Amino acid sequence: MTKIRAAVCREYNTPLKIEEVELRGPGMGEVEVEIEAVAICHSDISFQQGGFGGALPAVYGHEAAGTVLSVGTGVVGIEPGDSVCVTLIHACGHCTTCQSGKPTICETPPDNMAGSPISSPEGEPIYKAMASGAFAERVVVDQSQLCVIPDDISKDVASLISCGVITGVGAAVFSAGLEVGQDVVVIGAGGVGLNAIQGALIAGARRIIAVDMLESKLEVAKEFGATHTVLAEGKPWSEVKKILGRGADAVLVTVGVAQVYDQAPKYLGWGGKVVMVGLPHGDKVSTYSPLLMANQGQVIVGSKMGDMVIKRDIPWIVDMYKQGRLKLDQLISGRWTLDQINEAIEDTKSGAARRNVIMLK
């Protein structure tokens, strides 16, 4: 067992506590990684608020990057010293969805409490949230959650790739299946929304309309590829249809607000698609008109982690970044220490931040 520092949640809606915890070594198929950077995602905050369930005590954090320290038996293609992205995508590789090329929705999730490598000094198990537990100096995760990256990619940038980037870009390219010349609306111009805009641009969208409540975020959206912006007040879908002359081919909802999902179909044209990216708390529900959607041939699809296959797609993301075709450095709003994590979380909750990154090295 190794003693490490981690940000532990012991009660929902309370600040995380920096504690010294125990981390066991990697077992079969597992890898130990020294975390150098971990970004704060709104999903971490929703877990901390109790909106996604799970168990306590817990260590959150899932958008991370670091260096491999050791590997367990049966690990293939990953060695000590490798730079890696650490994701929450734990895939068994054998279930129907994994075999169908959909590892993000693997049907055999791990037991993140009984199988957690994290415990208190007294031996109390600590929940490894989202199969990662990366608000910590080190993690032990399954090899399926890692993708080796070049050493010359800075870890703060690499951490963003592990969730926010692949989720947003993948939502446009893979989940929405955007085709060249189509029109898309992205609701929410935060970290994931900006990446969805970039994904739409990569896919060859004709017009990309960003919708947000803050003018300042809409200005940033233009820098990331939005061709038009609409302030989310009144009936923004009417303004969007004036711009397009029709409804959109796809609307990507990147905010976790149920009311926005109520409105999303109103942006669509005939045959359009709502892509569900943002995650409201589990007790929130949305309503829509099945009659209108069925009559107009519209669909609603879920998008978990952008339907990415990380060992195939993260190298592509890295190449796009290196070629200057994907903005990543500009996504970082602030860099914080582990001791400042609660301040960073509050800054993220304000809605103004693109991505706050905790630097551990």
Residues of the chain with CATH 3.40.50.720: 177-302
Residue 240 token pair: 């969007």
Tokens 């809606």 locate to: 13
Q: Tally Cβ neighbours within 10 Å of residue 25.
A: 14
pLDDT at 156 (0 to 100): 98
Tokens 């090899």 locate to: 143
Stretch 273-300: mean pLDDT: 94
61 phi and psi angles, rounded to 5 deg: 100, 125
Contact 36, 65 (CB under 8 A): yes
pLDDT at 139 (0 to 100): 98
How far apart CA 314 and CA 137 sit, in angstroms, is: 23
Residues of the chain with CATH 3.90.180.10: 2-163+307-359
* pLDDT grade for 208, boundaries at 50, 70 and 90: very high
pLDDT at 211 (0 to 100): 98
Domain 2-163+307-359 falls in which CATH fold? Quinone Oxidoreductase; Chain A, domain 1 (3.90.180)
pLDDT at 356 (0 to 100): 97
Beta carbons within 8 Å of 209's beta carbon, 6+ residues apart: 183, 184, 185, 186, 226, 227, 228, 229, 230, 240, 243, 244, 248
Stretch 190-216: mean pLDDT: 97
Contact 55, 116 (CB under 8 A): no
How far apart CA 319 and CA 190 sit, in angstroms, is: 23
Q: How far is CA 135 from the centre of its chain?
A: 15
Looking at 1.10.579.10, 3.40.50.720, 3.40.980.10, 3.40.50.2300, the CATH number of the domain 177-302 comes to: 3.40.50.720
Tokens 């690990």 locate to: 75
pLDDT at 351 (0 to 100): 81
pLDDT at 352 (0 to 100): 78
Stretch 225-251: mean pLDDT: 97
Contact 227, 197 (CB under 8 A): no
Tokens 């520092």 locate to: 5
Contact 181, 201 (CB under 8 A): no
The least confident of 62-66, 135-139, 283-287 is 283-287
Contact 203, 186 (CB under 8 A): no
